[in-house]
Amino acid sequence: MLKNVAALLLDEIHPFELGVVCEVFGLDRSEDGLPVYDFAVVSAEGPVLRTHAGFSISTPYGLDRLEEADLIAVPAGSHFIDREYPQEALDALRRAVERGARVLSVCSGSFVLGAAGLLDGRRCTTHWRHSDELARRFPKARVEPDVLYVDEGSVITSAGTAAGIDAALHLVRQAHGPAVANAIARRMVVPPHRDGGQAQYIKRPLPRTPCDTVGDTLAWMERHLDEEMTVEQLAAQTHMSPRTFARRFQQETGTTPYRWLLRQRVLLAQHLLESSDETMDMIAGQTGFGNAAALRHQFVRALGTTPQAYRRTFRGPAGLTEAA
């Protein structure tokens, strides 16, 4: 049962990510018939902590308060990616998991869990900007950069900022059922569950190859995304056999011609959804997907959300033209 919750803070804490944990678990909503948690903010580095926003937070609670928590949340903070963490705090997190408590990280708080060894052998996530570094620093972790949160039982990790709300409501839903999670979400004026993942927020310009063996072909492909093209046709442009072309393409771009082309088409679709009022069929034609159904299928596979939902998120109601 989820009753006792503690937020573990380190210096240079981010107020928003802390606020997420306080909003979900730290408010008394008993007048609405909702559960009330025994909630505390715990400092790992003295009674007064700085925030990255320029003000300070004080708390009377030290690390001993973690020993009775059912859930310990670790919000993000500045320099969490490349700093050292108090050994006592890491030990407390490990003990919590060993005795059956759960730990939750928000954004870069995942690096604290990694330093405690709690990500080893587990799937996990963090803000998309830091996912590569998380994988580099903790090679035993199985980093999933495209999701909003990952629940691995005793260890829950969430992506950047607002994804902490998704993960926290997920924990409430598990402990108390969907009605309670929905009621808390309604009070917070947020969706109780968001479809998709953080892939739709990631900026992924495809890297330019330092070699120019297929450089001209890449430029031609970008100019003709609306056209059908085969490896045989592309190979002919570079005066290579299809097999040699495919091998060179893989060497210089790190992917196959089909995957490169698909990613460019999705990128163009994202741009058109953000910046134009074109219908889904028009966008499908301009991006080489042919029709709205094919566009939707590939868009969902690549980004975990529909074209219409993407347009709603990044353009708002003025950009809605038809359902997808």
Single out the residue of 16, 107, 56, 269 nearest to residue 24, CA to CA.
16
pLDDT digits (tens, 9 = 90+) for 93-122: 999 999 999 999 999 999 999 999 999 999
pLDDT exceeds 90 at position 211: no
pLDDT attached to residue 248: 87
pLDDT exceeds 70 at position 181: yes
* Joined tokens for residue 50: 């700085």
- Name which CATH class applies to 215-319: mainly alpha
pLDDT digits (tens, 9 = 90+) for 38-84: 999 999 998 999 999 999 999 999 999 999 999 999 999 988 888 89
Average pLDDT over residues 4-10: 97
- The amino acid present at 30, given as its one-letter code, is S
pLDDT attached to residue 107: 94
* Joined tokens for residue 270: 């994202």
Cα angle, residue 183 at apex, residues 182 and 185 outer, rounded to 5°: 65
User: Does 4-200 carry CATH code 3.40.190.10?
Assistant: no
Higher pLDDT, 313 or 246: 246
pLDDT attached to residue 276: 86
Count Cβ atoms below 10 Å from residue 26 Cβ, excluding itself: 16
Average pLDDT over residues 241-253: 88
pTM (two decimals): 0.66
Kindly list the distances between the CA atom of residue 313 and the CA atoms of 54, 106, 195, 259, 322, in Å, as whole numbers in the listed order.
31, 22, 12, 25, 15
* Joined tokens for residue 173: 């839903």
pLDDT attached to residue 198: 63
Question: DSSP string covering 266-302, please?
Answer: HHHHHHHHHH----HHHHHHHTT--SHHHHHHHHHHH
Catalytic option among 22, 107, 124, 211: 107
The reply to whether 107 belongs to the active site is: yes
Domain limits of the chain? 4-200, 215-319
pLDDT attached to residue 270: 85
pLDDT exceeds 70 at position 323: no
pLDDT attached to residue 318: 45
pLDDT exceeds 50 at position 199: yes
